[in-house]
Amino acid sequence: MKRVTKHVQLPSGRQSGLFMTIDNDWSTEQAAAVAELLEDLLHVIHSRYQDKLHAHQKATTYHSIQACLLRR
């Protein structure tokens, strides 16, 4: 069972922590099922926490921009 271990840029920007691998022998149907499950999970999380997530993202982005400006 070979695994794909190439470096992938994650949307979160994380470069360490969870090591994620996908077996090379996954079928297209398996990959689609996992993608569908993740989309459903994301939908449930956003439905429940949308306002809090938006506020967190806004605050995080604000502090990131502020830190960049202070470095200049």
Per-residue confidence of the chain (72 residues) as pLDDT tens digits?
555 556 667 777 777 777 778 888 999 999 999 999 999 999 999 999 999 999 998 888 877 777 777 776
Please report the pLDDT score of residue 71 as a whole number.
73
What is the sign of the dihedral through the CA atoms of 65, 20, 54 and 33?
A: positive
What are the structure tokens assigned to 26, written together? 């996954």
Please report the pLDDT score of residue 67 as a whole number.
72
- Segments forming the whole domain that contains residue 16: 3-71
Please report the pLDDT score of residue 1 as a whole number.
55
What predicted TM-score, i.e. pTM, was given to this entire model?
0.58
Please report the pLDDT score of residue 41 as a whole number.
95
**Domains contained in the chain, number:** 1
Task: Judge whether 21 and 1 are in contact, CB under 8 Å.
Answer: no
Main-chain phi, psi angles of 22, to 5 degrees: -125, 125
What are the structure tokens assigned to 31, written together? 């990959």
Main-chain phi, psi angles of 53, to 5 degrees: -65, -40
